[in-house]
Structure 1
């Protein structure tokens, strides 16, 4: 899916990536990363979250990235239109956010993109 189909809202140090303007977090997990390109991180987290939850019907991902004190504070989750078990879905998202290989890939890619622009 192209990036053009995603709504990006930037308010101060917070960037929100969602399917549309309405942002609802039925489920959410949190992490922190070193400072890097917020939009690039948001897109990559969204892609990996989508892959991890692709079997969850009615899922619409939301990623918020806030820059604060040299860190990126990330909230990943989204809206779910249908039945789900909150703890199970949040555990899947948290495991994805805590994966060391993914974290390194997100930061390296965002830093590379930031230097190129």
Structure 2
């Protein structure tokens, strides 16, 4: 699944919840890395990393951990449904990083809910 389809699904989900998703073209600089986007609600910030089927998941997890260490309250990794089913959810439950999957209809489902993490 392409990153643009993942982005549209995340934007649609969070806008329906009343949040403000932001996905600039070049990404958002966060320390030594770039994250794909963020979701805001007042002072609350959630870092979003989109990973298509050909992207490196370990790099995405590293970017999200760096975002958490630079002041983001939550972190969410979004990928396709088929790829998310092959991942071990224990990693996401232990670190507090959320895992969301987008199916072929463009619906976003959470496999591991993101938790508020403060370093």
Q: Greater helix percent: which structure?
A: 1
Task: Answer 1 or 2: higher relative contact order, Cα 8 Å, separation at least 6.
Answer: 1
TM-score (norm 1): 0.28
In our comparison, the structure showing a higher alpha carbon Rg is: 1
Normalising by structure 2, we get a TM-score of 0.28
